[in-house]
Amino acid sequence: MTSPAARGTLFLAVGPSGAGKDTLLDGARAVLADDPRYRFARRTITRPADAGGEAHEAVSVPAFERLSEAGVFALEWGAHDLRYGIPKAELAPLADGVGVVANVSRGIVDAARARFAPVRVVSIVVPAAVLRARLEARGREDAAAIARRLARAAAPAVTGPDVVCLQNDGTPAAGIARFLDAIGATAP
C-alpha cells in the first residue's frame, strides 16, 4: 500500500498593482512549464480578455455571480471595481502534492491560510516612486485611478511566519530568480 502524497503548498503572490506580479508569475511559469511539481492557477476576472495583464478567464459580472452562487470558486474577492475568483479546479492539484501558485488579493490571505494549509505568501513590494512610474507607463488608468492604487499600496503589509518579502525593483530576470527561490524552485 502506498501512502498518499503530502498536500502541496499554496503559494500566494500578493502585492499592489504595478509591483510586477504578472512579470514575475509569467517568468516563473515559463521556467517551470515542464516541472510537474508546480502549477499556476488561472483566475476568473470580470475584465475583458484583451485588457492587458495576465491571461485569465474573462466573464461578465452576472456570469461571475452565477459561478459564485454555484460554488465554483475556492477563493474570490473584489478590487478596483472588478471581481476575481480562483476556481476550485485550479487548486485541486494541491491534494496530489503539487504546489499551486496563485495571484491573489492581500485581503484574502487569512481565508486562504485557514482553508489551504500549507500556505506560503510571497509579498511583492517596490518603492512608491517605482510603483507610480510603472502604473503611469502601462497607461491603463487615469491619474485618479493611479492615486487610488497608490493609496491602496500603502496599506499594511501582510505579515506572518509564512511570508517571504520580495523586493522587485531590479531587472525582470532578477525578480523572477527571487520569485523562484521564494517558492523553493530553481531555474534550470
Asked if the structure places residue 4 within a domain, the reply is: no
> What is the residue whose three cell numbers read 532578477?
174
What span, in angstroms and rounded, lies between the C-alpha atoms of 150 and 44? 24
pLDDT tens by residue, 57-102: 778 899 999 999 999 999 999 887 889 999 999 999 999 999 999 9
Helix (H, G, I), strand (E, B) or coil at 15: coil
Asked if the structure places residue 165 within a domain, the reply is: yes
Asked if the structure places residue 174 within a domain, the reply is: yes
Asked if the structure places residue 44 within a domain, the reply is: yes
Domain count, the chain: 1
What span, in angstroms and rounded, lies between the C-alpha atoms of 45 and 12? 17
Which runs of consecutive H residues, i.e. helices, occur in 79-171? 88-91, 109-116, 128-138, 143-153
Which CATH number characterizes residue 31's domain?
Answer: 3.40.50.300
| Cα atoms found within 13 Å of the Cα of residue 187, Cβ hemisphere only | 12
Asked if the structure places residue 2 within a domain, the reply is: no
Query: Is 154's pLDDT higher than 70?
Result: no
Confidence of residue 1 (pLDDT cuts 50, 70, 90): very low
Asked if the structure places residue 139 within a domain, the reply is: yes
Q: Which of 78, 49, 80, 56 lies closest to 65, judged by CA? A: 78
Of 70 and 169, the structure prediction assigns the larger pLDDT to: 70
Cell of 65: 455571480
Asked if the structure places residue 1 within a domain, the reply is: no
Asked if the structure places residue 187 within a domain, the reply is: no
Of 185 and 87, the structure prediction assigns the larger pLDDT to: 87
Cell of 125: 513590494
Residue 81 belongs to domain spanning:
10-182
What pLDDT, on the 0 to 100 scale, is given for residue 114? 94
Helix (H, G, I), strand (E, B) or coil at 30: helix
| Candidate from 90-99, 149-158, 169-178 with smallest mean pLDDT | 149-158
Average pLDDT over residues 118-122: 96
